[in-house]
Structure 1
């Protein structure tokens, strides 16, 4: 009899615990379902949630506790009604809370998918669709506050709630780079690489007959409806460029930052093998070799990219910089002049071409200073003076153009004043000096 009493007592305890959990769940479900729970009901919700967490032993009960815990911020927000302020909401919704929401909801979704019993799935999917735009705005706001790590965490949570939304993972990675959280960024970029993310999309536009401006549309179907109705015309599609180059570039740069140079080269090489004609990847590999000061390989790769895109002014200019740094003045001049043929308003090409000619000035000045006062030296002095002035006059238009493009650039302004002074262009020198 004693054994039976012990078993019966144990059974009663288990039964009591089960009934208690059911009671807690009923309370949580009731309060959660209210449009505007009262403050005391929020307290009751938290109390029953705490009880359920301590009593739950079965997996289903633990999942339920996790679900209602993840929904606590929503219950708190609803309790304020429409009078809730941004400051109050900021105390409730934090990056950590968003992470808890993601983990609680995904645990419930995975459990119900595995067991085949839908209890919370439909509500979860509906809530994600409703509140996703608000959480995106929250992430944007965090980014504007320079809280890049928090913004990245929120976007990653959103990605985990909808793993088809690869854009959120891409921007989470970018924000991690901004936050100098390179380990996290590398993990996200490797995931993007694994899923073969490109970020390429098609944007749809049409001309609004009333506003006389182009309007964007969410899809071709939506745009076609407006064109059919007669309000719009002149449909136009625009493809956004691939982000693969940026992804591999950042993987490589992070690996370089960590001193893992060979891994960086391997990562880019692997991408190039899969996409040999992808200009963005050629440039990514070029940037890597520039980073490690391998200028020969860099120039080779940039020329390869230029074969695909001969009018890429940035590439042409960069070849000029590499040649200039290697003291290959003739090559540098050729590339800077080519860059200015493509874009005459390219500030750096104008300034650097002027600087290239200014290098000759040191040679003139050094020789002039070594001359004596003999008749022969005086004649040589006049020759050098004339050559120096000729050199100044060659570079002057480029320097003036650079100053015109960026009048606040101190290097351009001071150098231009010096050249005016050397050429005895007094009026221009004084006018420019007066602007300081």
Structure 2
């Protein structure tokens, strides 16, 4: 009796194995006929007992399942990407354990194809403002191909664009943990037939130039993205109300990269957003010492000084910016404005004076000082016009200064230049 039970169990197991192979064969046939839905149905029928099958059957099952879901994904079922990837990865896992690598090589090729499909689909999602979906696909592409860390970087960017800040923060943290830099060299050359500048790998570029089909090779350095990643992570912390973590992120990044002026600028910008303008000014001055020939730095230091009413310090910074870049229009306009603002600051006192002899004397003294400041502001803009005679912003501000001074001749001259 016991023998019969054992025999029945063995026969039952054999029937299950036969059923699995039948379903797999049906799925394979359906897939060859282009019917991925029917293939999926057949494979679902075999899934219940696949864990008990031998490694050869398991590998075949997961390989067909990967191909089936990859086909469904290619046909528009975005939810199929994840199943395709996990199935193909299972093939590699099973065959590595059994050391029978029948499907592994082809599986790796399919994974590469899926990665390309994921990236192309993510590009389309970004164009349609489906940023979360794009981020998830790019992250999946990175997990399939971890050496392609740029996918992770763009996944974070997509998440930020969609306002999915916690997701982006996870990606930025992972980028920092793997030491992602993002800098490097892009190899370019001009296509002789089209005139277009194209990027390619160095070996290909050099061969194309040597063949004569491309010319003018250029090695273009791309900057490191470490500062940008830290800045974005810190801004997300700020967005989430976690300013302490934002400050901590910058402190750690600057300790690791003490000579990176972009990190100093980004940290300064954080303090500005937090309302700590004194710290902002300190950091901007530090950045200016690190990059003394950066006109934008001096200009921004001037802006914050002007906002705080430190007009003399603002002028020093604007003049430094103009020494570096004499045609810096915004610096010219703001330098002029420092004189106008100081002159305007005298008007309240002038209006408060009475008609006594002392008050009249004081009024004349203040008026002379005010007009002198307005003249200084006008002189800055007159000098700017010599190299930029048609700038509407300069002309408009100059017209307003002459109008406030009551200088009708110059007012009408500038008004004519404006075409009014």
TM-score normalised according to structure 1 size: 0.80
Does the CA-based 8 Å contact 1:302-1:315 persist in structure 2? yes
Equivalent-residue separation in structure 2 for 1:397 and 1:31 (angstroms): 83
**Structure 1 match to 2:319:** 337
Secondary structure of 2:259's partner?
Answer: coil
Does the CA-based 8 Å contact 2:63-2:88 persist in structure 1? yes
For 1:22-421, list aligned pairs within 5 A: 22-34=21-33, 37=34, 41-58=35-52, 68-76=64-72, 89=75, 92-94=76-78, 96-206=79-189, 215-374=197-356, 377-396=359-378, 418-421=400-403
Tell me the matched-pair count. 412
Equivalent-residue separation in structure 1 for 2:208 and 2:111 (angstroms): 29
Secondary structure of 2:220's partner?
Answer: strand
Unaligned runs of 5+ in 2: none
Equivalent-residue separation in structure 2 for 1:243 and 1:131 (angstroms): 27
Equivalent-residue separation in structure 1 for 2:173 and 2:294 (angstroms): 29
Equivalent-residue separation in structure 2 for 1:254 and 1:324 (angstroms): 29
Does the CA-based 8 Å contact 2:70-2:114 persist in structure 1? no
Equivalent-residue separation in structure 1 for 2:138 and 2:94 (angstroms): 24
Equivalent-residue separation in structure 1 for 2:305 and 2:130 (angstroms): 40
**Structure 2 match to 1:86:** none
TM-score normalised according to structure 2 size: 0.82
Secondary structure of 1:57's partner?
Answer: helix
Does the CA-based 8 Å contact 1:140-1:151 persist in structure 2? yes
C-alpha change, 1:104 and 1:77, in structure 2 (3 Å) is: closer
Deviation at 1:279, TM superposition (A): 2.7
Does the CA-based 8 Å contact 1:203-1:238 persist in structure 2? yes
Deviations 1:100-119 (A, max 9, x none): 33333334334433443334
Deviation at 1:291, TM superposition (A): 4.0
Secondary structure of 2:133's partner?
Answer: helix
Deviations 1:368-424 (A, max 9, x none): 2112345554454444444333333433466797998986x8xx8986664353244
Equivalent-residue separation in structure 2 for 1:14 and 1:377 (angstroms): 113
Secondary structure of 2:370's partner?
Answer: helix
Does the CA-based 8 Å contact 2:59-2:95 persist in structure 1? no
Secondary structure of 2:9's partner?
Answer: helix
Deviation at 1:217, TM superposition (A): 4.0
Deviation at 1:123, TM superposition (A): 2.4
Deviations 1:298-355 (A, max 9, x none): 4444334333422222222222233233332211111122223333454543443344
Secondary structure of 1:56's partner?
Answer: helix
Equivalent-residue separation in structure 2 for 1:405 and 1:66 (angstroms): 70
Aligned-residue CA RMSD (Å) = 3.6
Does the CA-based 8 Å contact 2:69-2:83 persist in structure 1? no
Unaligned runs of 5+ in 1: 79-88
C-alpha change, 1:253 and 1:234, in structure 2 (3 Å) is: same
Does the CA-based 8 Å contact 1:99-1:154 persist in structure 2? no
Secondary structure of 1:204's partner?
Answer: strand
